[in-house]
Structure 1
Amino acid sequence: MVTATPLLDASQLMHDMQAYWWPFCRLLALFSMAPLFNHKAVSIRIRVLLALAITAALTHVLPVPPDINPLSLKGIFTSIEQILFGVLLGLMLQLVFIIFMLVGEVISTQMGMSMARYNDPTNGVSSSSIVYQLYFILLVFLFFSIDGHLLTVSVIYQSFLYWPVGGGLHYLGIEGFLRGIAWMFAASVLISLPIVFCMALVQFCFGLLNRISPAMNLFSLGFPITILVGLLCIYLTLPNMPQSYLHLTRELLDTIGRILQEGNRV
């Protein structure tokens, strides 16, 4: 018996694709900001493929999204809302890496190694200091050792449970992000404070030596000693880096969990 049901219904296909479109927007925005996923070594094609693969895997376990036409004005604003959700979560996950970036910049400046970016015509185009690049390599290993990529997927899954599609961006989420920025600066100061104190003490000693014997060429002597003392301080503090990273990551995940739960109560 021949039925009148069409083989391909464009309206029904658009309705079925809504369940995939909203998670895809949030995931792609998160991968554009999340640590390691936003690295220049990960191309845009890889990010899009990752977002498509995870969207296909998570869509069937996510809450059913509201019936919104993606091409309508409300659908456009909902897409922008999902992008903002993804950017906010990605920036929150990026805070731990930014902490060590600030630590690397401060230490590199105290050691005098930040001038290499301006004096070296070959490698001076790098936007990050050599100390942070050392920290970044170690952070990559620590990130994968604690299954950070799986934690990122878990965070995006929890975000759909507490911040469903069409739920709106709450003030508590933005307030929590601003508090996270303040926490980031405080943590970077606490981590870099011992090394900065040691470097300031070395420079103070060279200042006294300059007052005692002005004839000495302290520039040729001070820079190598400062760099050696800085490298020694990094060597002494580097074994505590995994513990600091785990502690900061736990605090960050607790903060994200509180932001999601508070946003759900609104």
Structure 2
Amino acid sequence: MLELSDAQIGGWVGSFMLPLFRIAALLMTMPIIGTQLVPVRVRLYLALAIAVVLVPTLPPMPQVDALDLRSIMLVGEQVLVGALLGFVLQLFFHAFVVAGQIISMQMGLGFAAMVDPTNGVSVPVLGQFYLMLVTLLFLAMNGHLVVFEVLAESFVTLPVGGGLLTNHHWEVAGKLGWVMGAGLLLALPAITALLVVNIAFGVMTRAAPQLNIFSIGFPLTLALGMVIVWIGMADILAQYQVLASDALQLLREMARAR
């Protein structure tokens, strides 16, 4: 008869369950996979599959009791680490959403909103277009594979039970404010061009007061805004590469303990 001791059960729990919680937390919070489009059960199965492949290559895990308070604290630590990594990726994707929303408001397209199927909220159509574009670019350039590589490295650079938030992590968290700045930089060319258009309409109104600026200016601003967005698509790949490099580098720094 096979008999298992508490130490053996605790070793198995620590070697498999603790990495599983970090992997599952990342998959539940990261873009693309962690959205409402992917059922929770599918995400859980994917986390189990990744854990089965990854666990044999990981360094030794701490021996814990399955029902001990320390094991619960370690589980909470792994969930927090995985959620932080997913949150960094969410900020990168939402930089493009912010840029699309800013441009939509400036060109008068803010009223055209649709339900975002990934988050379940209403967003401007242009913001949803930028989100779909950056999602396709992220998958086409194997960004998801880089994320899984960083996740595997995090078990070495930020081992289980090795402490969580240090001064290094707080410094990295202070860099997360680049999202709003990145969104403004993405939208800055379109905002500047639309500002020139609005100034031109203002000059026309002063020169010809009888001109109905509302009936003429609104459709022209909308049409010119679409042309400006179309022209700006020529440089979107270069902007994406810079922001993606910064986001993935920030992800590596977040997964590193110092």
Report the TM-score when normalising by structure 2. Answer: 0.90
Q: For 2:61, which of 61, 65, 68 is the aligned residue?
A: 65
Say if 2:96 is the partner of 1:100.
Answer: yes
Say if 2:167 is the partner of 1:171.
Answer: yes
Say if 2:250 is the partner of 1:255.
Answer: yes
Count of aligned positions: 252
Equivalent residue number for residue 186 of structure 1: 181
Q: Deviations along 1:79-119, whole A, 9 cap, x unmatched?
A: 1111110111111122221110110110111111112339x
Equivalent residue number for residue 79 of structure 1: 75
* Runs of 4+ off more than 4 Å: none
Shift of 1:14: 4.3
Q: For 1:111, which of 89, 107, 112 is the aligned residue?
A: 107
Secondary structure of 1:39's match? coil
Shift of 1:137: 2.0
CA gap of 1:126–1:111, structure 2 versus 1, over 3 A, is: farther
CA gap of 1:106–1:49, structure 2 versus 1, over 3 A, is: same
Equivalent residue number for residue 223 of structure 1: 218
Q: For 2:50, which of 41, 54, 69 is the aligned residue?
A: 54
Equivalent residue number for residue 152 of structure 1: 147
Q: For 2:28, which of 29, 32, 35 is the aligned residue?
A: 32
Distance in 2, Cα, partners of 1:109 & 1:10: 64
Q: 5+ residue gaps in structure 1?
A: 1-5
Does the CA-based 8 Å contact 2:104-2:110 persist in structure 1? yes
Q: 5+ residue gaps in structure 2?
A: none
Equivalent residue number for residue 9 of structure 1: 4
Q: For 1:44, which of 40, 46, 59 is the aligned residue?
A: 40
Distance in 2, Cα, partners of 1:171 & 1:70: 30
Secondary structure of 2:112's match? helix
Q: For 2:239, which of 239, 244, 251 is the aligned residue?
A: 244
Shift of 1:10: 6.8
Distance in 2, Cα, partners of 1:89 & 1:104: 24
Report the TM-score when normalising by structure 1. Answer: 0.88
Say if 2:124 is the partner of 1:129.
Answer: yes
CA gap of 1:40–1:259, structure 2 versus 1, over 3 A, is: closer
Shift of 1:24: 1.1
Does the CA-based 8 Å contact 2:18-2:78 persist in structure 1? yes
Q: What are the equivalent positions in structure 2 for 1:192-231 lying under 5 Å apart?
A: 192-231=187-226
Q: Deviations along 1:213-236, whole A, 9 cap, x unmatched?
A: 333222221121111111111111
Once superposed, what is the RMSD of the aligned Cα atoms?
Answer: 2.0
Q: Deviations along 1:29-59, whole A, 9 cap, x unmatched?
A: 1112212112211111111111111011100
